Amino acid sequence: MKRASELVRALLSHIAPEQGEMYLRFFHMWRRILGERLAYHCRIEDVEKGVVKVVVDHPAWLAEVHFKERYILSRLQKDFPSLGIRRLEFRVEPTMTPRSSQDQVRTQSSEGTEPVEVEEIHATETERIKDPHLREALERLRKTLSRGL
């Protein structure tokens, strides 16, 4: 079992190492700012042109994250000035599967039995990741980084 952060680091080392470390720190701080309970129900969909787009799994959690919006925005602006974050944008997606608080994921090779080695994860190999949520998140991150924010 590999930690998701190890998979992301391996992917980002081939794309944009400096930006990759900043994004890893960004996602880690997101969880700390929101707290585990709220972060479990909210996921960052994208960071684009100063807007952090967030998907929430239920209207009740949307209300809670709206209540903390000013605090969240000020912390992100303070901790990540280079991103030029101006606002947060929220939407509810009831079918969103909440993230695991353990931050771990199981992946398998194309044969289905051997664990995928971290060194093998490249931008062109994300399709080998079985977890669809992790695969989609890594693809979005790769596209965002390749756009050069």
Distance in angstroms (rounded) separating the CA atoms of residues 135 and 149: 20
Query: Quick one: residue 112, left, alpha or beta (phi over 0 = left, psi -120 to 50 = alpha)?
Result: left
Residue 37 clears pLDDT 50, i.e. is over it: yes
Structurally, the chain folds into a number of domains equal to: 1
For range 44-59, the mean pLDDT: 92
Measured distance between the N- and C-terminal CA atoms of the chain, rounded to whole angstroms: 32
- Collapsed DSSP state (helix, strand, coil) of residue 81: helix
Position 86 scores a pLDDT of 97
Distances (CA, A) of 56 to 8, 17, 61, 148: 22, 29, 7, 26
Q: pLDDT digits over 70-116, tens only? A: 999 999 999 999 889 999 999 998 876 554 433 333 333 334 444 43
Position 66 scores a pLDDT of 94
| Structural domain that includes position 24 | 2-147
